[in-house]
Structure 1
Amino acid sequence: MGAGGVTVKEEEQVEAAEPVTNRSESASAARPRHLARLRAPHRPKLWFELLLIAVSYGVYSLIRNAAPESIDAAQRHARWIWDIQGHLSLDFELAVNHAVAGITWLIVPMNYYYATLHFVVTIGVLIWLFRYHPGRYGATRLVLFATTGVALLGYYFFPLAPPRLMAGMDFIDTAAVHRTWGSLSNQGTAMADVSNQYAAMPSMHIGWSLWCGITVAVLARPLWLRILGALYPALTLLVIVATANHFWLDAVGGAICLAFGYLVARLWFGRWCYRLPRQVPEPELAPSAARPS
């Protein structure tokens, strides 16, 4: 019998229970710290980013191209979009397409713009962020990834024929007419055969170009570069309409997806991605590694 009427056995049980409680409290305290570390800006690793981008784009392409290609539904949706724009008196795509399609020196560069800059400029902005804004890179990259991820829902549940493929309309498929390299319009090519041409809503040409344009306009220092950033999505909108690859409402869908991407990054990091610190401090050495031998 111990002091105060507590047996020795009971004392041992209390002592044995205390480390378990302490371990539980330590684990509970460690979880928020671990989560905080995940949410804190950190220096990106090149090999990881290359692997992540390659895998993510592969998954995105696989899911996008695996979305149901219901041509009847895609045509119905295209007619529905066209009618809505007509009721708004904003069905200007056909007029723009016909006005530009006959100007060879203008439409051919637009075709190549549509086929290539979508990737080139986006990759270029990612590299620029990685090199000069490492503290903002992770959050800004998350915006792009979340934007692209939510767009897959549109491709899967809302197949949409682009204007150039609309039945009963006389849109000019400018890439097919001029045999533009890398175009989805060139039937029988490897790219056209593996790509879902009825995944037009939302437009990631607009989603990605807006992401690039906003990022450059906010973070770049030279005025001329900021102006180019602001003009890039506007020029992309002109291109996707003139080449009959998208309705302007597809562009609205891309902008909505981008807004979702910014919201995801804001909730995860607790701040807008562009307000995070530009640089990330070097990781501190562990005490054992910091002591000279």
Structure 2
Amino acid sequence: MSDSTVTQQEGREEVAVPGAVTGEYRRGPLGRLRRPRRPRLWFEILLIAVSYWTYSLIRNAVPEQRGAALRNADWILRVEHELGIAVEQSVNHAANSVNWLIVGMNYYYATLHFVLTLGVLVWLYRWHPGRYAATRLTLFATTGVALVGYYLFPLAPPRLMHGGRFVDTVMVHHTWGSMASGDLKHMSNQYAAMPSMHIGWSLWCGLTIFALASVPWARVLGLLYPVATLAVIVATANHFWLDAVGGVLCMAFGFAVARLWYGDLPYLLPRRVPARAGEPVRQSA
């Protein structure tokens, strides 16, 4: 079915979304679930809170296999040396030599991971309600499949490896907020480093901003965010480069799940959905 254009009285054009997206061809309970719909604030707050609590509970319930995690870290480092990409130690020591830089990176690692992800969810809810559920599903599927990696491949971050090759920048500079510092380290699985959800979540944020933001500088910042996050997780010795690759693969899985469920990529769904059942779904051109 081709798009049809409807001219509004005020002169603005809107494009009716094809039936494959609006749900014209989706009937029955399952079809209604797969149809883009207006999100409800109370439900989304509850869903995000419960989902993150469940994720944290499962992540921290994975046995902290210290011996296996350290052996896997040694193996990862050997593989990276063979590939010629084992620059983590150099980056870690170089960043640690500049006090203001590494302290800023520590706080970046501890805060933006949560703050910016929640900020993008709020922005989607307010300005892209028709795309919100599918984009949120991408994030949830990305995070969910990461749990499999934590269980099957326990991995110590570089900062916890034997031999003192890496500087634990949080402990050295006494910065707060990280799950690797203070009493929080006893509440978080320290050997759940592969895949890196700092990369998974930052890539989700960056791609979402790049795809949907209308301001050019915001789109550029969206692309720079996961790049900056990659530099931070390596400089603070919280992850290897290959942990980031794992995060990217999880994100690809998340997009595949959303694509299969909604029939299209989240960013290609209609921006807005009808307020009442039966109202035509239209999207601004």
TM-score normalized by structure 1? 0.85
Structure 1 CA distance for aligned equivalents of residues 69 and 50 of structure 2? 29
Give the letter for the 1:247 counterpart: F
Picking from 110, 114, 118, the partner of 1:119 is: 114
Structure 1 CA distance for aligned equivalents of residues 53 and 180 of structure 2? 22
Map 1:1-293; keep pairs closer than 5 Å: 32-186=27-181, 189-284=182-277
Structure 1 CA distance for aligned equivalents of residues 178 and 118 of structure 2? 19
Higher gyration radius (CA): 1
Cα deviation, 1:63-97, whole Å, max 9, x if unaligned, reads 00011101110001001100000000100000000
Give the letter for the 2:245 counterpart: V
Q: Which runs of 4+ in 1 moved over 3 A?
A: none
Cα deviation, 1:81-134, whole Å, max 9, x if unaligned, reads 000000001000000000110101111010000001000000000000000000
Structure 2 CA distance for aligned equivalents of residues 285 and 81 of structure 1? 55
Structure 1 CA distance for aligned equivalents of residues 207 and 96 of structure 2? 29
TM-score normalized by structure 2? 0.87
Shift of 1:267: 0.2
Shift of 1:193: 1.2
The alignment's C-alpha RMSD in Å is 1.3
Structure 2 CA distance for aligned equivalents of residues 159 and 39 of structure 1? 35
How many residue pairs were aligned? Answer: 254
Give the letter for the 1:216 counterpart: I
Identity of aligned residues (%): 65
Cα deviation, 1:9-52, whole Å, max 9, x if unaligned, reads xxxxxxxxxxxxxxxxxxxxxx9422211111000000000000
Structure 1 CA distance for aligned equivalents of residues 277 and 186 of structure 2? 51
Aligned 8 A contact 1:203 1:246 in 2: yes
Shift of 1:192: 1.2
Aligned 8 A contact 1:173 1:185 in 2: no
Shift of 1:185: 3.4
Structure richer in helix, relative to its length: 1
Give the letter for the 2:137 counterpart: L
Structure 2: give runs of 5+ residues left out of the alignment: 1-25, 280-285
Give the letter for the 1:275 counterpart: L
The structure, 1 or 2, with the larger RCO (C-alpha pairs under 8 Å, 6+ apart) is 2
